[in-house]
Amino acid sequence: MNSFVYDIPTKVYFGENQLGNLGKELKKFGSKVLLTYGGGSIKKIGLYDKVVKEIKEAGLELFELSGIEPNPRIDSVREGIAICKKEKIDVLLAVGGGSTIDATKFMAAGAFVEHDPWDFFVNDAPITQALPIVSILTLSATGSEMDTGGVISNPETQDKLGRQGRPMLPAVSFLDPTTTYTVSPYQTACGSSDIMSHILEVYFNLNQDLYMLDCFMEGLMKTVIKYAPIAMKNPTNYEARANLMWASSWAINGFIRGGKQQAWSCHPIEHEISAIYDITHGLGLAILTPRWMEYCLNEKTVSKYVQFGINVFGINSTLPPMEIAKESIERLNDFFFNQLELKSTFTELNIDDSNFELMAKKACDEGVIEGFIPLNESDIKKIYEMCL
Amino acid sequence: MNSFVYDIPTKVYFGENQLGNLGKELKKFGSKVLLTYGGGSIKKIGLYDKVVKEIKEAGLELFELSGIEPNPRIDSVREGIAICKKEKIDVLLAVGGGSTIDATKFMAAGAFVEHDPWDFFVNDAPITQALPIVSILTLSATGSEMDTGGVISNPETQDKLGRQGRPMLPAVSFLDPTTTYTVSPYQTACGSSDIMSHILEVYFNLNQDLYMLDCFMEGLMKTVIKYAPIAMKNPTNYEARANLMWASSWAINGFIRGGKQQAWSCHPIEHEISAIYDITHGLGLAILTPRWMEYCLNEKTVSKYVQFGINVFGINSTLPPMEIAKESIERLNDFFFNQLELKSTFTELNIDDSNFELMAKKACDEGVIEGFIPLNESDIKKIYEMCL
């Protein structure tokens, strides 16, 4: 069991009618606010007007950057950095889903450096400072509202790369489940798949660590499995939206990891797909994850599948281990493709094998992904092929 | 479902060999450190020497206050405050269990006021500031290392009272499971009983709240039930000590509460016992808790017992609800009195009914405890009687 440092000081206002606290929280950081958002859905649901009202009433100066893409691009980051520098922004307010918050994180970090922000991804440029970030979440998925990382796409190079940086942890996040009422069943499904994957990437681990955290991960997975279908069928079910929202934060804020050391597997493998084909990240993960589990199953790894099958899906514990393991993968398939109604193959998304070699190479650019089991280029290509 | 604010910025160094970070963490707050501890057990285990070495190597000035009692007394708090004021202490370093950390919290708050610190407990004197607190935990029990509250005894008035205060949240806590290796089986049992009670006080609640948090509480309880007996039998089992230690923090840091509003029941009822008889808090809780559950069980409340019995103890879910409920109480009895080997009645502790009326009156000094079910003076007296 490894030692670790737990340090997640993000303050969260959870629930309805918390926006009255926005002004006072922003003010702690200064007077010039850069509001960042995506395609305008926050205007449709009336959130934009409420946010602007709070900012104005607090006497703060408002700047805006809209149009941040799903799978946000490095150009948006560059644009945000230019505004931060020119206007001497004090605090960034990201309103949206993970894409908006991710992009905003690198604007906050980029405001302190002279080099191009893509250097954070390809040249390991250090992230030692960032402007303070406040977020208002409108999609339960990436957990960016309470973690230190983000993923940015570069269409020129067909790269989609992640980077962590402690200074980019949001200082304050507002999580109002009602802001996710208008999220479509499809996007709810993709977000839930993303949350599930964040947990599975940590849970499927052969290193002994805190049992307590395994229990918590199982609880998080049961929560997603229970409430994602409810939220899809009944988009204004507060209970379902609230559970998914708080689960999204805790799936990835670092708490469940404890002292576990392990690279993630499905995320980097998926990023190569959405970098080229621009599909929704959660959809790619849903297709990949059960195949990855199937690929990794063997006599050495089976015990983790057994634990998963019994504790998350309630599979009969008296069955032979390998049977429980296979049944657990079946149940996960059922969740992704029947309950969440997601497409189950690359073929249905018009993705063929023409880029698999390149994608597999890029997914393990250091030769091997040291995850649940080590995966090299050839392993990853096989997993892609299983998804056809 | 209620809204809530999540805000727990305590930084935790978890695991062995983390003490090398102590100096740099203390230095952030200044140069004058008041080290507080109890009866000297930290000297026996060699922790005192290590701590002093780190402080000296960091070039900090060291002051000391030892002798803080289990069930810490207001006089110790007064003594600490006097040192803080006289020496212009910058940061307090509490090394010990919940008693030491609790007492230290009120020294930190008391350093900023002119009135007697007992006013924090009886006259609702505001806690608006406190000196920064760093803790090194040596007993898994109260969760004081990551929460905002504490409990102090006043032998003159036979009062034992709790108080919360946001500024008293420890800034940094060191949780090294090996520092609990020398905790006796009995104290391990009492600490584990305290942790269980912290969870049960929140879990037994009829207000609908986040399912995800119920799952987490069930995981915490399964953790304590699994590892407390192991730690008693094999005191140097790292895994057992580590799970109990991290569970102790998360049982009470506020996370599991979410938006639930409810007074605690067993804690105030127990405090009246240990205020007069000076028994270990966790022992009192173990005796009281199953009786309290028995007293509160009825057709309206049974569903919570059913959830508890099935999810924590794996009781057969096809049994009639009332049967599951009663079995769940039996299983908890078994845990406290067979597994943890704690005494199960007041009679065995030489506590008779002579003070029950007074204790019941003081336990609900506002007329009623608005907990899982409302309890008035007469209810509490009956629960005490069930413990004979």
pLDDT in tens, B198-242: 999 999 998 878 999 999 999 999 999 999 999 999 999 999 999
Q: Which of A3, A214, A246 sits opposite B18 (nearest CB)?
A: A3
- Both tokens of B175, joined, read 């949780």
What pLDDT does A52 receive? Answer: 97
Chain B CB within 8 Å of residue A9 CB: yes
Q: How far is B364 from chain A (nearest CA, A)?
A: 31
Partners of A22 on chain B (C-beta within 8 Å) are none
Q: Judge whether residue B274 has pLDDT over 90.
A: no
Cβ–Cβ contact B247 with A under 8 A: yes
Q: What is the mean pLDDT of residues A99-126?
A: 97
**pLDDT at B159 exceeding the cut of 90:** no
Q: Is the pLDDT of residue A1 over 80?
A: no
Q: Is the pLDDT of residue B39 over 90?
A: no
Is pLDDT at B278 greater than 90 in this prediction? no
Please give the distance of CA A247 from its chain centroid, rounded to a whole number.
11
Does residue A259 sit at the B interface (CB-CB below 8 Å)?
A: yes
pLDDT category at B160 given cuts 50, 70, 90 is confident
Q: Tell me if residue A137 falls in helix, strand or coil.
A: strand
Which of B130, B126, B143, B31 shows the shortest CA–CA distance to B77? B130
Q: What residue spans of chain A are helical by DSSP H?
A: 22-27, 41-44, 47-57, 74-87, 98-110, 119-122, 185-203, 211-233, 238-250, 266-277, 281-296, 302-313, 321-333, 356-363, 377-386
A246 touches chain B (CB under 8 A): yes
CB atoms within 10 A of CB A28: 12
Is the minimum CB–CB distance between B242 and chain A shorter than 8 Å? yes
B23 touches chain A (CB under 8 A): no
Q: What confidence tens digit (pLDDT) does each residue in A118-143 have? A: 999 999 999 999 999 999 999 999 99
- pLDDT of A173-229, one tens digit each? 999 999 999 999 999 999 999 999 999 999 999 887 899 999 999 999 999 999 999
Residue B1 has pLDDT above 80, yes or no: no
- Reported as a pLDDT band with limits 50, 70 and 90, residue A39 is confident
Chain A / chain B CB contacts < 8 angstroms = 113
Q: How many Å apart are CA B120 and CA B167, to the nearest integer?
A: 13
Q: Which residue in B has a C-alpha nearest to residue A178's C-alpha?
A: B3
For residues A186 and A302, give the distance between their C-alpha atoms in angstroms, rounded to a whole number.
32
**Can you tell me the distance from the alpha carbon of A17 to that of B2, in angstroms, rounded to the nearest whole number?**
11
Domain ranges within chain B, ordered by starting residue: 11-179, 186-386
Supply φ then ψ for residue B376, to 5 degrees.
Answer: -100, -175
Contacts of B311 (CB under 8 A, 6+ apart): B214, B215, B218
Task: Please give the average per-residue pLDDT across B140-145, as a whole number.
Answer: 96
- Does residue B77 register a pLDDT over 90? yes
Residue the block writes with tokens 């507002």: A174
**pLDDT tens, A371-386?**
999 999 999 999 999 9
Measured CA to CA, the distance from residue A108 to residue A106 in angstroms comes to 5
Distance in angstroms (rounded) separating the CA atoms of residues A71 and A160: 8
CATH class label, B186-386: mainly alpha
**One-letter amino acid identity for A28?**
K
pLDDT at res. B275: 83
pLDDT given for residue B261 in this prediction: 84
A196 touches chain B (CB under 8 A): no
Q: Is the interface score ipTM higher than 0.90?
A: yes
CA dist B123 → B32, B127, B159, B317 (Å)? 31, 12, 13, 49
Nearest by CB to residue A15, choosing from B227, B238, B259, is B259
DSSP B38: S
Q: SS3 of A52, please?
A: helix
CA-based nearest residue to A263, from A122, A187, A154, A367: A367
| DSSP element (H, E) containing A11 | strand A11-14
Which of A137, A209, A210, A230 is the best substitution to test chain B (most B C-beta atoms within 10 A)? A210
Which residues from A are below 8 Å from B1, CB to CB? 15, 238-239, 242
- By C-alpha distance, which of A204, A226, A348, A231 is closest to A287? A348
Domain A187-386 has CATH 3.40.50.620: no
Q: Which residue reads 């606010």 in tokens? A: A33
Q: Which range (A84-98, A147-161, B8-22, B170-184) has the least confidence?
A: A147-161
Contact at 8 Å (CB) between B196 and B256?
no
Interface contact B212-A218, CB threshold 8 A:
no
What is the domain class of A11-179 according to CATH?
A: alpha beta
The pLDDT-based confidence of A243 (bands split at 50, 70, 90) is very high
Distance CA B36, CA B102 (A): 11
Write down the pLDDT at residue A142. Answer: 94
Instruction: Give the distance, in angstroms, between the CA of residue A294 and the centroid of all CA atoms in the same chain.
Output: 23
* Confidence band for A4, pLDDT divided at 50, 70 and 90: very high
Confidence of residue B109 (pLDDT cuts 50, 70, 90): very high
Q: What is the mean pLDDT of residues A346-363?
A: 95
Count the Cβ atoms, other than its own, within 10 Å of residue A8.
Answer: 20
